[in-house]
Amino acid sequence: MTEGEKVNHGDRRSRRLAVVVAVQNVLVAACLVVTLYVYWTVQERVSSTQAAGGDIHIQVEAVPDITRNSTLQLAHIYSNFKMDLLDGRRIYTSCTGSYLLHLHTCYTSLKLGESRVAELQLQARKDEEPLSSFFLNTTHEVCRGLHRITYLRAKQNVSLHLFLSDGFKLKNMTVDLSFLQGGRCEP
């Protein structure tokens, strides 16, 4: 073997190695492009869902300091999507299905040490059975979260009714109603 043949053989190895490295770099670049494309596509879907409001829900605040039986007046909408507040008392639902009703409330007995009770009902109509009920009992100030799963129909109007004994005071309440199927709405 001559020295020229050795150099030629080494040049072929170098060229093969260069081709393998180039192909490997092209594959890595292709994987990076595909990964970035998938990431941006998912981000666009998340952004469009968030821009559209995301999951179907409403979060409102009830007017504070209630000491008599009444339909709760809902005052301030913090957030809503595909649900609305009508006349300050009724929540309009857009979709048929299961909803999570979550309340955070503070209430007290005006005669500390004496037990006072109240019932809070989610109703579609006054002459029908309540869709959900909560019983509140206290001898002192209490703040707590309450929740129930309830089934509502599309285009239904629901309201919260408070029935309380003498000396019971509802100090404040935040109401969350969330559709349990996320953003998928079937009328």
Tally of helices (H runs) and strands (E runs) in the chain: 1, 11
- Sequence-distant (6+) residues with CB within 8 A of 173 are 61, 62, 64, 72, 103, 104, 105, 106
Q: What is the pLDDT of residue 121?
A: 93
The structure's pTM equals: 0.68
Q: What is the pLDDT of residue 1?
A: 53
Q: What is the pLDDT of residue 37?
A: 83
Low-confidence ranges of the chain (pLDDT < 70): 1-10, 43-53
Q: What is the pLDDT of residue 183?
A: 81
Helix (H) or strand (E) run with residue 37 in it: helix 3-52
Dihedral, 134, 88, 68, 124 alpha carbons, nearest 10: -40
Q: What does the pLDDT look like over 134-162, one tens digit per residue? A: 999 999 999 999 999 999 999 999 999 99
Q: What is the pLDDT of residue 17?
A: 87
Ranges of H-type helices in 80-147: none
